[in-house]
Structure 1
Amino acid sequence: MEKHHLLRRDPNWHPNGCNLCGQLGHQAANCPNGTINWRQIYGDEAFIMRQPIFYSDIQERIKFKEDGMLDLEARAQAYARAKAEELGLNWAEIAAKAEELRNKDPSEVIAKVAPAGDDSLPPGWAVATDPNGRQYYWHKKTQKVQWERPRDDTPIS
């Protein structure tokens, strides 16, 4: 018996008895006489022994996920190819362009897509992009928003 149990137990109790009340026939987790309801505090899950997890099981789960991801990628490409054919697009061109973009430096791609800088706008104006990728312009001081690019003579109201 562990030392911390011996310190809390009455020395007259049976060694196999409950650590809370000393009676034989049940454990502290199921003690009807104790002052602490451990099951209520921790729940039944705390008193159930769990199976050990081995390294080989972890590797098996990782392999299963990888196989699932490869399958998902193959099904996604098949769906995209079917949609491209349905829309009359050339799948080979699309795949080649995607591979070209995948091999480029991300800063190059972003520089081509990024909105124009503030230097080409009149003072006080900024450019932003909506969730659909369209650019709009707003005046920083008045918070006026418009779709058309402002010119130097654009009145601010």
Structure 2
Amino acid sequence: MELHHKLRRDPSWHPNACNICGQLGHQAVNCTNGTINWRQIYGDEAFTIKPPVFWSEMADKQKKKEVDVKELARRAREYARMQCQAQGIDYDEMIRGAQVFQHAPEQKPQLPVTSQQNGGSAGGAVKKEAPEGDLPEGWAVARDAQQRVYYWHKKTQKVQWDKPTKDTPVS
């Protein structure tokens, strides 16, 4: 119990009694003897039991909250066109430039890899292909942070750079 409740109540009252009048059977919220009118502060709605909410009603409410994306996009284009017009910018030219920029392919830089970095495989080049087929039972293909292909055994967690064969020992 909080200190301000302890200071206001009589120590002889039951701990579950009302903090205002000390009677068992109700709490301070519903006390008619108190000086605070909780119903006036919070309203009758705060003290009434709410009816049950069914799943079908929730689905209808959710559907009403959904945003019409096409309408929103149309309104956004209309707003952008008005802003461009106000600032003297050609809207159609701006859109064409944005579409060209949006569809430009991303180019990732190719880093040189030494044979030591590639796990000692011949040539020192990054393995690009990931031959998932023709692997012995229990083996899988993965790539490291530099996109190099390596192989690992699912059960033993053994990892190796070279493609396993049916004769590869699993320990």
TM-score, normalised to structure 2, is 0.32
TM-score, normalised to structure 1, is 0.35
Larger proportion of helix? 1
